[in-house]
Structure 1
Amino acid sequence: MLGLGELELKVMDVLWAADEQLRVRDVLEQLPAEREFAYTTIMTVLDRLHDKGWVGRARTGRAYGYWPARSREEAGAHVLREVLDSSGDAESVLLHFAASVSERESELLRRALEKGRGA
């Protein structure tokens, strides 16, 4: 996702899959085993994600519990909004995007637009 590094996205994936707040150690244990990460590395990533507004946190004892500030779907929509706002030509971006969608995605967009118009 726009604005997230590879490790940040992996950490977000862990948080999005969780149904409760996770501590640094919990996130570390649930990361894919393709590479070992230091506790302090994940702590720093979570701190940066908090500073960027991607995660919320609350102290639970001596540690923080972390959770996603928005759902994966809300985050995706936010990223799309940022792309459109920063493109300088939202119409062109939307037209290129529309040309790339599948038939199913096109139908979903049609329904969403109709719903948005109160139809």
Structure 2
Amino acid sequence: MATHEPQEPAGRRRANGALEEEILGLLHTAGRALTPGEVAEHLSTPLAHTTVATTLARLHTRGVLERAPQGRSYAYTPVTDESGMTARHMRQVMESGADRESVLTRFVDELSDDDEDLLRRLLGTDE
């Protein structure tokens, strides 16, 4: 008799990127490298081990995670902290635009006054 690993409830699918986001959150808060089995144990929705392992491998291939052999598997850790991941994502989005100057100009135009002041301080251009 075959056993089936847990999967998402029928009819309910995660939004694109939601599983990756949850996994990255778990890895950031874990404070140590986790195997696919350990990640699967802490997910909000039970998933097949193969689904978790595949997602971790994809994040590793994209350079988001580092991995080291642990037993017959790998243990994964983020390459940077949450702020670093957000900054990396912001840069990737900005670089995907056809007109980098226009994208950056729009981004700055839409900053709150507090964020604009912070950016000026960071750039050393306090006025």
The answer as to 2:90 corresponding to 1:80 is yes
RCO higher in structure (CA 8 A, sep ≥6): 1
RMSD: 1.8
Q: CA deviation at 1:70?
A: 1.9
The answer as to 2:114 corresponding to 1:104 is yes
Q: Which residue of 2 aligns with 1:50?
A: 60
Q: Tell me which amino acid in the other structure corresponds to 1:10.
A: E
Q: Which sections of structure 2, spanning at least 5 residues, go unmatched?
A: 1-15
- Report the identity percentage: 37
Q: Tell me which amino acid in the other structure corresponds to 1:13.
A: G
* Higher alpha-carbon Rg: 2
Task: Measure, in 2, the Cα distance between the counterparts of 1:45 and 1:83.
Answer: 21
User: TM-score, normalized by length of structure 2?
Assistant: 0.76
Moved over 6 A (4+): none
Q: Which has the higher helix share?
A: 1
User: TM-score, normalized by length of structure 1?
Assistant: 0.81
The answer as to 2:62 corresponding to 1:16 is no
Q: Which sections of structure 1, spanning at least 5 residues, go unmatched?
A: none
The answer as to 2:19 corresponding to 1:7 is yes
* Alignment CA distance shift 1:109-1:58 (3 Å): same
SS in structure 1 at match of 2:80: coil
Q: CA deviation at 1:110?
A: 1.1
Task: Measure, in 1, the Cα distance between the counterparts of 2:100 and 2:73.
Answer: 43
Task: Measure, in 2, the Cα distance between the counterparts of 1:82 and 1:40.
Answer: 28
